[in-house]
Amino acid sequence: MKITFRLVLLAAAAGLGFWLWTVLFPSPEKVVLKKMAGLAATATFDSGDSNLTRAAKAASLAGFFATDAQIVINIPNVAIRTFSGREEIRESAMAGFVSLSSLKVQFFDTTVVVGSDQQTADVNCTANVSTGKSKDFGVQELHFQFKKMDGNWLIIRVETVKTLS
């Protein structure tokens, strides 16, 4: 009976230790997925949010990107648009956040592939973006490139993915 109790106690301690390790030291995949969820939450705002709140969100949004990051948007029937650098991304987000009544950003089917160096990651996902006036910008596949800089995973490039349709 004592041996069984000790084995159960040892197994519980090992399980607790493993859980604590994964919480304190998450895998790069989990960190990047958390960054993607944070990006979607930061890019989302309601019609009741003040301009000050929107400005803070735009500044926070820019913080997800490296200083020399690049966003390339190439959507059919829309001109190709490129944003270069964190400052231009922040300014564009600010302009967009002010001009829209509300914005909802969601990422689905997110897959993360961490490079063998554990310092880079490629993320593929499907984005759904809609405004409060029920205008749906549709579903678009995106490719993100992350790089770990000074212990922080930052986006270095985002681009739309051309689909067959």
Give the tens place of pLDDT for each residue, 7-30. 777 777 777 776 666 666 678 999
> What type of residue sits at position 57?
K
pLDDT at site 24: 67
Q: How far apart are CA 147 and CA 119, in angstroms?
A: 6
User: 3-state SS of the chain: helix, strand, coil percent to 5?
Assistant: 40, 35, 25
* DSSP helix/strand/coil, 135: coil
The CATH topology of domain 27-160 is Nuclear Transport Factor 2; Chain: A, (3.10.450)
Sheet holding 152-160, edge to edge: 81-84, 65-73, 152-160, 136-149, 120-131, 103-114
Paired sense of beta strands 120-131 and 65-73, if any: unpaired
Q: Quick check: 44 pLDDT over 70?
A: yes
**Mean pLDDT across 66-89:** 89
Token code pair at residue 24: 């304190």
Q: How far apart are CA 89 and CA 102, in angstroms?
A: 18
Q: Quick check: 106 pLDDT over 80?
A: yes
Q: How far apart are CA 134 and CA 65, in angstroms?
A: 28
pLDDT bucket at 85, cuts 50 / 70 / 90: very high
